[in-house]
Structure 1
């Protein structure tokens, strides 16, 4: 209802204020463009969605186990974590052109940039989650004869999942940003490329149609992460 009211006010106020279309189009104009160019927009959307998913999954697969290893081995935490923080302080958008020079205009530099933006939030959340477990619980599992794998599978991971999914939700937002920035720097396909093409011709309906498509991808991706959280953490389901 909030979005319906917002779009209705937008549709009514823009002509009333006599704002030209090349500055701010009405919703009916870019929704019509979204429909008429649906095949082309859908093709570019699939490219961007592929970059988002690959970069996000790569970050999750690497950062979650690495977070556990860093927390478990104190020497690694002192040796590796400061280096990770140092590289995190380097602006990813600033090094995006380097990826184009090193790896070209293909899929990999966009996936790599998405990975770098998603890696640190997931790593920090994982480390926080694996640290959050009360040490007395570990003493209890050892006294009951649980193996290291059983303790990890049934105690450590469930206790850390809440924190891990908090990091994954933040990373899901950054993933779309990484993919679009990578396409801005150098690409021949994707929503970022389509946005730049629309900007060069002042095609505002196309630009807003791409923004709608990107928003839909982000919403679907966010729901997928939420669904995985519900699936993997059934004890937190609300009745």
Structure 2
């Protein structure tokens, strides 16, 4: 029976990846068809073949800037996730915190990110610090919100059981509420993994001398649209891979916790 259950699951994953590849292939063919049929100049819309050629020609340059952006994103993801987890635990444990701090968090999300980027650059300089701070700001809210919702929606049956066993407030939090909220935390981190590159690139657009965002601005200023597309697609692939790695990590962690439970 376990073997039969694993086979359909594996088949569904293969179909999912295959459908994704088909969708990407269709998009590339459509892109090339539009360029060929319309005859658009390459500085307006370069074709995928030209972008691929440009990417290969400038692979070392793109890799150098990708490394900087990846460092900003990964550090920001780690810090933002840690702060989000700590904040969610505090909000779920404190009624006053929910009444006072949660509205402030919601208000901060109404502020446009582009408005904060110049301020952070002014405060933290043109180095990695301002870009990491931008990534943290974008990551922090979805992690905090998702995990806090999970903590607040613990099944009532588990809470009744902890009350029957006379478990204290903190034991109930660590042994029941947090494990029950881990799927929500995983969803928040997966969402943050998609948003994290956005924060880093916005910071690079405002002020930087390295990174994929800087490379895109540089290529755009020199009318090298093919290089700009190559950098942009590299950023997209990086975001997809990061989301996939976070998804696999959270799923593996959830499976390990279930086995221990």
* Deviates most, 91-100 or 44-53: 91-100
Unaligned ranges ≥5, structure 1: none
1:188 and 2:209 matched: yes
Q: What are the Cα deviations for residues 173-231 of structure 1, in whole angstroms up to 9, with x where unaligned?
A: 22111011000000000000000000001101101100111011101110111012211
Cα 1:6/1:91, change in 2 over 3 Å: closer
Q: What are the Cα deviations for residues 141-196 of structure 1, in whole angstroms up to 9, with x where unaligned?
A: 24336566654344222211121122222212221110110000000000000000
Unaligned ranges ≥5, structure 2: 1-21
Question: Which residue of structure 2 aligns with residue 14 of structure 1?
Answer: 35
Q: Pairwise mapping of residues 211-226 of structure 1 onto structure 2 (< 5 A)?
A: 211-226=232-247
Question: Which residue of structure 1 aligns with residue 138 of structure 2?
Answer: 117
- Using CA pairs under 8 Å that are at least 6 residues apart, name the structure with larger relative contact order, 1 or 2: 1
Cα distance between partner residues in 2 of 1:221 and 1:74 = 35
Match of 1:61 among 73, 77, 82: 82
1:170 and 2:199 matched: no
Q: Is the 8 A contact 1:63 1:123 kept in 2?
A: yes
1:127 and 2:136 matched: no
Question: Which residue of structure 2 aligns with residue 207 of structure 1?
Answer: 228
Q: Is the 8 A contact 2:138 2:195 kept in 1?
A: yes
Q: Is the 8 A contact 1:230 1:236 kept in 2?
A: no
Superposition TM-score, scaled by structure 1 size: 0.92
How far the C-alpha of 1:29 sits from its partner, in A, is: 0.6
Cα distance between partner residues in 2 of 1:198 and 1:14 = 20
* Deviates most, 35-44 or 146-155: 146-155
Question: Which residue of structure 2 aligns with residue 140 of structure 1?
Answer: 161
Cα distance between partner residues in 2 of 1:12 and 1:163 = 42
Q: Is the 8 A contact 1:109 1:182 kept in 2?
A: yes
What secondary structure is seen at the aligned counterpart in 2 of 1:233? helix
Superposition TM-score, scaled by structure 2 size: 0.85
Cα distance between partner residues in 1 of 2:207 and 2:142 = 25
Cα distance between partner residues in 2 of 1:3 and 1:78 = 46
Q: What are the Cα deviations for residues 87-143 of structure 1, in whole angstroms up to 9, with x where unaligned?
A: 232222112111111111000001101111111111111110000103442231243
